[in-house]
Structure 1
Amino acid sequence: MTAIDTAIRAAAADIELIGVTKAYDAKTVVIPQLDVALRPGEFTVVLGPSGCGKSTLLQMIAGLERVSGGKILIGGREVQNLEPKHRGCAMVFQNYALYPHMTVAENMAYSLKVAGVSKAERAERVATVAKMLGLADFLARKPGQLSGGQRQRVAIGRAIIREPGVLLFDEPLSNLDAQLRHDMRVELADLHRRIGATSVFVTHDQVEAMTLADRILILNKGHIEQFDTPKAIYHHPASIFVAKFIGSPPMNILAVTGDGSALRLADGQVVANFAGKGSFQLGIRPEDITVKAGGPIKAQIRYREDLGSHEILEADIAGQPLRIATPFGAEIDPTSTLSLSFSQARLHLFDNGTSRAISNAFDQTKSAPASVKEYQ
């Protein structure tokens, strides 16, 4: 472990946002009110669709956007009124933001030069970081002579050379091709394990979120839909929004009605045993549906996608779309009616009004309530 690794790990700070709001005017409220705490040394991914407020949230932490209300604490210190340079954060941008007339070494060392760090120490830190990021052979080059991945590593190096306790990433991989994004995800995960900085990574790419995060914060119109581990978010989504946003293909959501003994589709088919009554939304992931002869649930194939390792079947069930992931080599007649089985242990039930998950809806160890109101 280098001196930079040790310094960053020691500086890793918790981040707490208390009642933070952001509005540009009375009609343009980006973040209505947000409360969240990020642990020191944790890799948090802020995930959501375009316009949900994730980049605004990151920029408020960095000090590039002023908060409209509330407090931001980094390491227990209020920073919402401090300039960015006094917050102990370093930021990596989507467009790299490198100086084109400077070499790699000069780009990485620039913030240290401005801070008055001696030339000898600057050179030592540049050499250490360049070796860490595989840039030792490119220090004399300028950004225009580098590939996209190399430029991104320079931007990361420029951030960590300051030994920050908090690293902020604003969609840093979106300009890279698919293979390079994969390679950079591996490098970022390895870098985080090594330096242990508190990292906040903004993206709309669920693959980046699932593979990089210790915890994922899912935003929807400035509100937190769920904040949990990747595994918990995938297997226990807190809302229909999360269920449909995570997964490729996403979770199937079907309108069902509880009659006191079962959940039924619009055509009367029973999809699960259930003692409650009312209208609900039933969720099941494509890989949790089994195609088998004699299966109790019927659907009609509309389209199939052969992805090599598996197939995705697009089907119609009681007038609703249904995606089914089938294993490689499965023999399925595309003209036939599908016979399906749903694994009840993998079903999810959501309130029809709030779209929030109903906990323990299919827990066989407790008696089911008579109506949806008893779940709320």
Structure 2
Amino acid sequence: MNAIDPVIHIAAANIRLDGVSKSYGKLAVIPKLDVEFKAGEFTVVLGPSGCGKSTLMQMIAGLERVSGGKIIIGEREVQDLEPKERGCAMVFQNYALYPHMTVFDNIAYSLKIAGLTKAERRARVEVVARMLGLTDYLERKPGQLSGGQRQRVAIGRAIVREPAVLLFDEPLSNLDAQLRHDTRIELAELHRRIGATTVFVTHDQVEAMTLADRILILNKGQVEQYGTPKEIYHHPASVFVAKFIGSPPMNILAVTGDGSMLRLSDGQPVVASHLKGDFQLGIRPEDIAVGNAAGRAGLTAHVRYREDLGSHSIVAAELAGGTVRIATPFGSDAPDQVVLSLSFPADRLHLFDALTGKAIPGALSAATKEQR
């Protein structure tokens, strides 16, 4: 039961996908997928265009048939049920409001179809309108509203049904930057108030990092990583995740281990390591130190350009094996130099397999202890 207002009763349900797959002919959009979205959590499905995230959402909602596997919501298998029987409500990118109806009637329409009385419909709509700041707009039609207000009406129409699962398919894509920011805050607050299990699809990492309890990162229909925003940012499971999360993304450099050090292609030593062979080394832009740090190897890098962003600067510098981006405090003098000496703290480094791109946990822990 909702703690804010007893008129709205949302009982969150977990969602489990067991071996769920989707193919169009011979084209496999989503290979077998096993994942569970926990009841009451806000889960963001994140990935580039074409990775299968919207298809996954539509299969949960019942708008797409699964090619194989089971979808279990709560204790029920739903893959063979019609959308209206699944206990889900969906908010689309394009709002999909009835233009000839008022805001009140748009929100109340599903309740009317369900046979609720006028008094029951009015009570629920008024509660939802207060939650979403729409009380003063109930008699207006969608054409008289801003984009953000129309999106709130679409959200209101979804939550008034008291769904166990609330699905969002890139709902902020049509909003400008400031409105996207404001609506993100509203969505986070709304989730705290109603507690429905929420699955939110986006390609925007900022939306994912700021809204999610957990993030599911998809790449070509397969799970790259599923975890909290903090886990994904600080412990990426692959080069794909490392480069997809972060702005600028994690720097990835090719290195070779000779049994005592990991070195760049020109022989510059990066970090002590007993490993041998080729690897990919990652470090976040904010973790690179400009200038020679005591006890750590200094790497010579040549500055290509600098972007001043007000609160900080992003410096692009050329190292053997690629370009690194460095986040520095605004006004720092060091980035004005043509040649920089960089140091990579060992406890901020990430090591990945050169061929698969998968993370190699703990591989640099010994080096970290040595350099502390």
Superposition TM-score, scaled by structure 2 size: 0.96
Aligned pairs for 1:357-372 within 5 A: 357-364=359-366
Aligned counterpart, 1:245: 244
1:332 CA drift (Å): 2.5
Please state whether the residue corresponding to 1:141 is helix, strand or coil.
coil
Structure 2 counterpart of 1:192 = 191
Q: Does structure 1 conserve the Cα–Cα contact (< 8 Å) formed by 2:264 and 2:321?
A: no
Q: What residue is the counterpart of 2:209 in the other structure?
A: 210
Cα deviations by residue, 1:248-305 (Å, 9 ceiling, x for unpaired)? 0000000000000000000000011110100000000110001115761110001110
Aligned to 2:12: 12
Partner of 2:90: 91
Please give the alpha-carbon distance, in whole angstroms, between the structure 2 residues aligned to 1:336 and 1:134.
Answer: 53
Q: Percent identity?
A: 72
Q: Are the counterparts in 1 of residues 216 and 223 from structure 2 also a CA contact under 8 Å?
A: yes
Contact 2:352–2:360 (CA under 8 A) maintained in structure 1: yes
Partner of 1:159: 158
Give the Cα separation in 2 of the matches to 1:68 and 1:284.
40
Give the corresponding residue for 1:254.
253
Distance 2:345 2:334 in 1: 20
CA distance in 1, matches of 2:97, 2:354: 49
Secondary structure (helix, strand or coil) at the match of 1:3 reads coil
Q: Distance in 2 between matches of 1:226 and 1:117?
A: 43
The code of the aligned residue for 2:116 comes to V
Determine if contact 1:4/1:163 at 8 Å carries over to the other structure: no
Deviation at 1:333, TM superposition (A): 5.5
Indicate the residue corresponding to 1:322 in structure 2: 324
Q: Which letter does structure 1 place at the counterpart of 2:135? A: A
* Aligned AA (1:222): G
- Tell me the CA shift for residue 336 of structure 1: 2.3
Q: Aligned partners of 2:336 and 2:196: how far apart in 1?
A: 52
**Alignment check: 8 A CA contact 1:4 1:161 kept:** no
Letter in 2 for 1:301: V
Which ranges of structure 2 fall in alignment gaps of 5 or more residues? none
Structure 1 residues 287 and 156: alpha-carbon distance in aligned structure 2, compared to 1, 3 A threshold: same
1:344 positional shift: 0.6
TM-score w.r.t. length of structure 1 = 0.95
Alpha-carbon offset, residue 120 of structure 1: 1.2
Q: Which residue of 2 aligns with 1:373?
A: none
- Please report the RMSD computed on the Cα atoms of aligned residues, expressed in angstroms: 1.5
Between the two proteins, the alignment pairs up a number of residues equal to 364
**How far is the alpha carbon of 1:334 from its aligned partner?**
3.6
State the shift of 1:330 in Å.
0.5
- Equivalences for residues 198-347 of structure 1 within 5 A: 198-293=197-292, 296-332=298-334, 334-347=336-349
Runs of 4 or more, structure 1, over 4 Å off, are: 365-368
Larger mean Cα displacement after TM superposition, 247-256 or 331-340: 331-340
